[in-house]
Structure 1
Amino acid sequence: MTMDWFPGIREACAYWRDAPMLQHTFEALQTSLQSESDASIDAAKGLVECVCRVVIDQLDNPTSPLKPRDEAAITEWVSAAIRVLKPGDVRDRKFADLIKHHNGLAESLRVLRNDAGPLSHGKDGFIQALSVYHRRAAILAADALVAFLHKAYLDAQLDPLSSREPWERFAKDNALIDAHVGLVVDAEDSDLFTLRFLLPGRNELPINIEVSRLLYQLDRDAYVEALNAARGAQAPDVEPIEEQGEP
């Protein structure tokens, strides 16, 4: 078994490289494959659940959450992830059958994991190690599920208010804003300055912000460079405050 057997998992893990549990489980999968261990079945199941958690955390509606309990079965996680992705809005019978088959894969993976996984619920697993073909079946099923969820996620319409995706994820929206919104900066005497975003229709969106806060949030390297420059600058002259005597 090599990395070529799970391209969907590799692609999803590369995309969500900032998801620590997903990356940890991916490392466990690679390690178990290198040692030809049946623990790869547990890792495959864990990867599916991790991807479901990432998708749900990104797209779930906080006012009407679909996130299952932490101890829920993998089929519940897959079902919830598919529901938040809303692919069922496509009115096509064959697409509904595809969802059904993916849920079937999830259930089969759960059964295989519980019956055979040496790390499952404290069990020792089978006396004889599973053959490479059984491990391959579990990983291929997991790869099919992960690829399906990841591709559906990339096609989903994200909410920029709640999304933790990077700016690049909203390329079309970014281009629309850049084409129609201008920017003017008004300096003030205080530590604040005003960014005036010129909206279509002659409307404005003013935002007051400190220079330090803007640099810190947008460019940490620029923040450090500005900090070093400021440390070497002379302190501004401050008039002494006269102490007021008692009346």
Structure 2
Amino acid sequence: MNLDWCPGIRDACMHWRDAEMLQQTFEALERTLEQDNDACIDCAKSIVEVFCRIIVDELDSPTHPIKPKASAPDFGEWVGAAVRVLKLGENQNNKFLKLVSQHHKLTTALGDLRNESGPVSHGRDGFLNKLSIHHRRSSILAADALVTFLHQAYLETHLDPVNSREPWERFESFNQLIDEHVRLTLEIDDDGDSTLQILLPSNESLSLNIPISRLLYLLDRDAYIEALIAARGVPVTIADQAKEAGEL
């Protein structure tokens, strides 16, 4: 088996590249799938749980939190919290939670059956091997269905840019509005300090005090290097030397 068995999990993990725990679990899943190791079942279940935590952290309300209050919430609590924070319809909610319940029952029943058969039962080695393969497949497919459903629902939500950890590209409609109606100017005072003026449609402005070097460093490293090279080529005047020496 490989990641082709769980394209929904793969897409969700690519979307959340900066989620360290999710990426570590995803790497473990990929490794155990390639090894045909039963540990991939636990990895897939862990990915569902970690993904639910990410969704809850991203969308939960500070004033009316849905995040589980228990010190160690179980799998079902995290999934339930993710469903609620996504504000899924009641009908969708029930169907989704039924899928979670059936997934849990299926994987538990297969695991119990495999354990009761025992690894040294006479004539059962071939049976156990086939059962283990189907156990892995059913668990991976079910986990992929859960993550796909949650991820698609998340992508359809309207995020709050104040608290979101999503990148700038995620707010395309907001970005277009700002780019169309807001303008920028740069003012430099007598001391050489720069102030970025953000001109709003209401004829008001916002001031952002930030050194040009910091602005370039944060937004465009190539532009920062070009600016650095250009600045190094500017002749140093006597006034500049005196200023650096503290004489002015």
1:86 matched to which residue of 2?
87
Instruction: Give CA-to-partner distance per residue, 1:144-179, whole Å, 9 cap, x none.
Output: 110011111111111111111111000011011111
Which stretch has the larger CA shift, 145-154 or 104-113?
104-113
Alignment identity in percent? 51
Matches within 5 A, 1:104-183: 104-105=101-102, 107-108=104-105, 111=108, 127=119, 130-183=131-184
Instruction: Give how far 1:225 is off.
Output: 4.3
Structure 2 length-normalised TM: 0.81
2:99 matches 1:102: yes
Instruction: Give CA-to-partner distance per residue, 1:159-208, whole Å, 9 cap, x none.
Output: 11111111100001101111111222222223432222221222222222
Question: 5+ residue gaps in structure 1?
Answer: 119-125, 243-247
2:204 matched to which residue of 1?
203
> Does the C-alpha gap of structure 1 residues 64 and 110 become closer, same or farther in structure 2, counting only changes over 3 Å?
farther
Aligned length: 231
Aligned partners of 1:204, 1:11: CA distance in 2, in Å? 41
Aligned partners of 1:227, 1:106: CA distance in 2, in Å? 58
- Across the aligned residues of Structure 1 and Structure 2, the Cα RMSD in angstroms comes to 2.8
Structure 1 length-normalised TM: 0.81
2:78 matches 1:47: no
Say which SS state the counterpart of residue 17 (structure 1) adopts.
coil
Instruction: Give how far 1:229 is off.
Output: 4.9
Question: 5+ residue gaps in structure 2?
Answer: 120-127
> Does the C-alpha gap of structure 1 residues 194 and 241 become closer, same or farther in structure 2, counting only changes over 3 Å?
closer
> Does the C-alpha gap of structure 1 residues 241 and 186 become closer, same or farther in structure 2, counting only changes over 3 Å?
closer
Aligned partners of 1:109, 1:224: CA distance in 2, in Å? 58
> Does the C-alpha gap of structure 1 residues 65 and 157 become closer, same or farther in structure 2, counting only changes over 3 Å?
same
Instruction: Give how far 1:103 is off.
Output: 3.4
Aligned partners of 2:207, 2:150: CA distance in 1, in Å? 39
Which structure features the higher share of helix residues?
2
> Does the C-alpha gap of structure 1 residues 16 and 241 become closer, same or farther in structure 2, counting only changes over 3 Å?
closer
Conserved? CA contact 1:25–1:46, under 8 Å: yes
Instruction: Give CA-to-partner distance per residue, 1:125-161, whole Å, 9 cap, x none.
Output: x645652111111111100110011111111111111
Aligned partners of 2:175, 2:77: CA distance in 1, in Å? 35
> Does the C-alpha gap of structure 1 residues 40 and 187 become closer, same or farther in structure 2, counting only changes over 3 Å?
same
2:13 matches 1:7: no
Conserved? CA contact 1:22–1:47, under 8 Å: yes
Conserved? CA contact 2:86–2:154, under 8 Å: yes
Query: What code does the residue aligned with 2:241 have?
Result: D
> Does the C-alpha gap of structure 1 residues 96 and 24 become closer, same or farther in structure 2, counting only changes over 3 Å?
closer
Instruction: Give how far 1:43 is off.
Output: 0.6
Instruction: Give how far 1:227 is off.
Output: 4.1
Aligned partners of 1:44, 1:151: CA distance in 2, in Å? 18
Say which SS state the counterpart of residue 210 (structure 2) adopts.
strand
Query: What code does the residue aligned with 1:22 have?
Result: L
2:31 matched to which residue of 1?
31
Query: What code does the residue aligned with 1:41 have?
Result: I
1:238 matched to which residue of 2?
242
Which stretch has the larger CA shift, 95-104 or 168-177?
95-104
Say which SS state the counterpart of residue 36 (structure 1) adopts.
coil
Query: What code does the residue aligned with 1:142 have?
Result: A
Aligned partners of 1:110, 1:189: CA distance in 2, in Å? 71
Name segments (4+ residues, structure 1) moved above 6 Å: none
